[in-house]
Structure formats: structure tokens, C-alpha cells
Amino acid sequence: MILDQYRNRHRSVAQALDSVAALTRRAGLSGRQAIVSACVLVPVVVAAVATSIWLWDQFSDASLDRHGRIALAIGVIASLGLGIGLMGLVFYSSNHGYDEGTRRP
């Protein structure tokens, strides 16, 4: 019974790793390049967020309580999601030929 659970868990991890490998191949990155990129970019993003929060607290007369910070985070995430989604649709329509009928000769 425990061995079956281990095999199922191992299978799901292997499938997840295969999907990550497929995404990196599609992006033109090898597995090692993707890991190195993530190891570099994640600390940079965390440092940028921490620095922006610290600067906001140090140099701003406006103070945000917990609810204000939550609202700000939700707004940033929603804006990023909308922008990424719309750009994804632009690339999708361009790559699949949906834009060809709208161009004039």
C-alpha cells in the first residue's frame, strides 16, 4: 500500500517535471538554463519588492495599513494578470493567423 502511494506520488512528480521540461524546450531553454534563470530572477524580484516596501515606509508621508497593502497587492496582481493575458492573446492570434484577414494590401 505504501509502495503504491510512493509510485503514484513519484509518477505525478515525474509528470510535473516533464511538463516543465516541455515548457523550457518550447521557450528555447535547457533545463539547467531554466533553473539558473529562476535562481537568479526569484531573488531579484523578492529584493525589488522588499526594497519598494522599505522605501515606501521610509520616504512616504502616506501610510498603508494591512488592508491597504492587501488591496495594493491585489491590484498589482490583477493588472499584471490582465496585461499578461492580453499579450498572450496578441501572440496567440498572431501565431495562428487570425490577424491575416485584417491587413490590407
* Closest listed residue to residue 21, CA positions, set 10, 13, 31: 31
Contact (Cβ atoms closer than 8 angstroms) between residue 57 and residue 64: no
C-alpha cell at 4: 503504491
- pLDDT tens, 27-78? 666 778 878 888 999 999 999 989 988 888 888 777 778 998 899 899 999 9
| 72: in domain | yes
| 24: in domain | no
Structural domain harbouring 75: 65-100
Q: How many domains does the chain have?
A: 1
| 9: in domain | no
3-state secondary structure 4-67: HHHHHHHHHHHHHHHHHHHHHHHHCCCHHHHHHHHHHHHHHHHHHHHHHHHHHHHHCCCCCCHH
Q: What is the pLDDT of residue 40?
A: 92
| 93: in domain | yes
| 46: in domain | no
pTM: 0.47
| 87: in domain | yes
